[in-house]
C-alpha cells in the first residue's frame, strides 16, 4: 500500500523533533520507504530535515540522499563532515556514489574520498569522476558479474558467488577474455543446464550489445529502449569491460531530456523548477519573451506596409488574429512531430520526402479548413465572396508555409548538432506569425488591389 503524507503524521514528527526524541523519530519512520522519507524531509524546514536525517542509520540515509531534491541534498551535505559523507558513500553503488561526490566542492571531494574505508570502492569512484556526466562513462557503475571465457562452469559458479556479494542486483553475466575484453554474455539457463566441466567458451552467447565510455547518454537511452535492455555493458577504447548501466539510470536520463525539451518548447531557456528563485525563473523565461516581443514589433511593421487595406478593406483586419493563430498552431504541430521523430530516431526517408509529405498533409488540412472558413465567413459574417476567397486562399497558403517551416527548421538544427526542441514553441509561433501576416496581406493586395 502506498504511503501517504498527511498533516497528522507531519505534526507528530515535528513534535518528536521539538522533544529531541531521536529514537522515537527513528521508530516512527521505521517502515517508511526511503523514497517516501525523502518527500517527508522536503516537507520539513531545513533544520528539522537535518535532525531527522541524522537520526537515521547510514544504510537508509544513503538511499534518501539519492531521492532528495538537489537543493535540499546540497544543504544537508553542507552540514555533514567529510567522514559522515564518506559513511553514506560507502553504502552506495559506485555510480550513485559518484553522483553525490560530484556535487561537492573540490576540496571536500578530496576529503571525502580520503575518508572512504573501502579502498577499491574509492578507486572506482575516482575513475568514474573523470568521465563527462553526459556520457556512458558518467552513467555507469562498476558493480557487475563477469566470467572468463576460459573457465569451466564450476569455476564460473564459484567466482560468481564471490562477485555477487558486491552487486545489488545481477542483471547479466558478462564474458571476457584474459585481457578483460568483452566477448559476450552468459545465459543463466545455459549455466545451470551445462556440465560443471564444460568450458564457458562453449556455452556463452557471443552476440551482446554494448556502448563505449564516450557514448552520449541520450544515445545509450535510445539503444536500451530499442532493444528492451535492463542493463548494458560499457567498454573502453580497447574493448575492455569497464562497467554497466542499468535501466534506473536511463530512466533518469529520459526524464531529464523530456523535462528539458518540454521547457524549451514552452519557451524556457534553462532547466528550472517551480520552487526556484524569482531571479532564476526570470532568467529562464525572459529571453524567449523578449524574442516574442521583437516578433510582435516586426509583425506591426509588416502591417504598416499594408496601410492601404485599413482604408479600403477594413474587414481584412478582423481575420488577422485567425491567420496568425493558424500559422502558429500548424507550425508547432509540424515541429512537434519532427522533434519527436528525431528524438526517437524514427524518421524515415530524405528531407525532401519528409517535406513532400508535409506539403500533402497541409494541403489536405488547408482545403478542409479553408472550406469551413469560406462557408462560415460568407453565411455567418456576411463577408462578400471576393473577400472570402482572399481569406481562404491566404489560409491555405499560410498552412502550407507554416508546416514547411515547422518541418524544415528542426531538421536543419538537428543536422547542425543543435537541439531541435529549440524549434518548437515560441520560436516557431513567432516566426510563423510574421510569415502568416506577410502572406495574408500580400495575397489580399494581389486579389483585392489596394
Q: Where are the domains of the chain?
A: 7-139, 145-254, 278-448
Please calculate the CA angle 245-187-173 and round it to the nearest 5 degrees: 35
Q: What is the pLDDT of residue 211?
A: 97
Q: What is the pLDDT of residue 321?
A: 86
Name the pTM for this structure. 0.69
CB-based contacts of 418, cutoff 8 Å, min separation 6: none
Q: What is the pLDDT of residue 350?
A: 73
**SS3 string of 325-353?**
HHHHHHHHHHHHHHHHHHHHCCCCCCHHH
Q: What is the pLDDT of residue 170?
A: 78
Please calculate the CA angle 214-220-221 and round it to the nearest 5 degrees: 150
Distance CA 335, CA 418 (A): 14
CB-count exposure of residue 153 (10 Å: 0-12, 13-18, 19+): buried
Q: What is the pLDDT of residue 356?
A: 83
Distance CA 288, CA 90 (A): 44
Q: Closest Cα partner for 211 from 131, 147, 149?
A: 131
Q: Closest Cα partner for 395 from 430, 365, 360, 425?
A: 365
CB-based contacts of 172, cutoff 8 Å, min separation 6: 144, 145, 185, 230, 231, 233, 244
- CATH class, domain 7-139, is mainly alpha
Q: What is the pLDDT of residue 262?
A: 64
**Helices H / strands E in the chain, number of each:** 21, 6
Q: What is the pLDDT along the chain (450 residues), one digit of tens a residue?
A: 567 788 899 999 999 999 999 999 999 998 899 899 999 999 999 999 999 999 998 889 999 999 998 889 999 999 999 999 999 999 899 999 999 999 999 989 999 999 999 899 999 999 999 999 999 999 999 999 999 999 999 999 888 888 877 777 777 899 999 999 999 999 888 888 889 899 999 999 999 999 999 999 989 998 998 898 999 999 999 999 999 999 988 988 888 777 666 666 655 555 656 666 777 777 767 777 787 788 888 888 888 788 777 677 788 888 888 888 888 888 878 887 887 777 666 666 677 777 788 888 888 988 999 899 989 887 888 888 888 899 999 999 999 988 888 888 888 877 877 777 666 666 777 888 888 888 988 898 888 876
CA distances from 381 to 212, 310, 318, 371 (A): 64, 18, 11, 15
What is the architecture, at CATH level 2, of domain 145-254?
Roll (3.10)
Pairing of strands 211-212, 231-235: parallel
Positive/negative CA dihedral, 12, 18, 24, 27: positive
Four-way CATH pick for 278-448: 1.10.357.20, 1.10.630.10, 3.40.50.360, 1.10.760.10: 1.10.357.20
Amino acid at each position: 500500500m502506498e504511503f501517504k503524507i498527511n498533516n497528522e503524521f507531519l505534526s507528530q514528527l515535528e513534535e518528536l523533533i521539538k522533544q529531541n526524541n531521536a529514537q522515537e523519530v527513528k521508530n516512527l519512520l521505521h517502515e517508511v520507504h526511503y523514497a517516501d522519507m525523502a518527500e517527508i524531509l522536503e516537507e520539513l524546514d531545513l533544520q528539522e530535515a537535518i535532525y531527522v536525517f541524522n537520526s537515521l542509520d547510514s544504510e537508509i540515509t544513503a538511499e534518501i540522499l539519492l531521492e532528495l531534491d538537489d537543493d535540499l541534498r546540497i544543504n544537508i551535505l553542507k552540514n555533514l563532515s567529510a567522514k559522515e559523507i564518506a559513511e553514506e558513500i560507502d553504502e552506495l553503488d559506485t555510480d550513485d556514489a559518484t553522483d553525490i561526490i560530484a556535487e561537492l566542492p573540490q576540496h571536500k571531494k578530496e576529503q571525502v574520498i580520503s575518508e572512504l574505508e573501502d579502498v577499491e570502492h574509492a578507486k572506482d569512484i575516482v575513475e568514474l569522476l573523470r568521465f563527462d556526466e553526459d556520457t556512458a562513462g558518467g552513467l555507469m557503475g562498476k558493480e557487475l558479474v563477469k566470467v572468463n571465457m576460459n573457465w569451466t562452469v564450476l569455476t564460473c559458479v564459484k567466482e560468481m558467488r564471490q562477485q555477487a556479494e558486491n552487486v545489488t542486483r545481477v542483471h547479466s553475466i558478462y564474458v571476457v577474455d584474459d585481457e578483460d575484453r568483452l566477448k559476450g554474455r552468459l545465459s543463466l539457463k545455459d549455466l545451470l543446464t551445462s556440465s560443471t566441466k564444460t568450458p564457458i567458451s562453449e556455452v556463452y552467447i557471443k552476440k551482446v550489445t554494448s556502448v563505449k565510455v564516450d557514448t552520449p547518454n541520450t544515445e545509450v537511452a535510445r539503444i536500451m529502449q530499442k532493444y528492451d535492455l535492463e542493463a548494458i555493458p560499457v567498454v573502453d577504447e580497447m574493448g575492455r569491460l569497464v562497467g554497466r548501466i542499468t535501466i534506473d539510470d536511463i530512466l533518469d536520463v529520459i526524464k531529464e531530456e523530456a523535462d528539458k525539451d518540454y521547457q524549451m518548447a514552452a519557451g524556457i531557456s534553462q532547466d528550472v523548477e517551480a520552487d526556484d528563485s524569482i531571479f532564476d525563473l526570470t532568467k529562464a523565461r525572459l529571453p524567449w519573451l523578449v524574442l516574442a516581443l521583437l516578433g510582435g514589433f516586426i509583425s506591426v511593421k509588416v502591417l504598416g506596409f499594408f496601410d492601404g487595406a485599413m482604408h479600403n478593406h477594413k474587414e481584412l483586419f478582423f481575420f488577422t488574429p485567425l491567420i496568425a493563430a493558424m500559422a502558429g498552431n500548424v507550425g508547432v504541430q509540424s515541429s512537434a512531430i519532427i522533434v519527436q521523430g528525431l528524438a526517437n530516431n524514427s524518421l524515415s526517408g530524405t528531407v525532401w520526402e519528409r517535406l513532400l509529405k508535409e506539403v500533402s498533409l497541409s494541403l489536405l488540412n488547408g482545403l478542409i479548413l479553408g472550406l469551413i472558413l469560406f462557408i462560415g465567413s460568407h453565411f455567418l459574417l456576411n463577408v462578400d465572396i471576393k473577400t472570402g476567397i482572399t481569406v481562404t486562399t491566404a489560409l491555405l497558403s499560410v498552412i502550407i508555409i507554416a508546416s514547411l517551416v515547422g518541418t524544415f527548421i528542426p531538421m536543419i538544427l538537428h543536422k547542425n548538432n543543435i537541439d531541435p526542441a529549440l524549434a518548437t514553441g515560441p520560436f516557431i509561433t513567432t516566426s510563423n506569425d510574421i510569415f502568416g501576416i506577410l502572406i495574408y496581406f500580400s495575397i489580399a493586395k494581389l486579389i483585392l488591389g489596394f
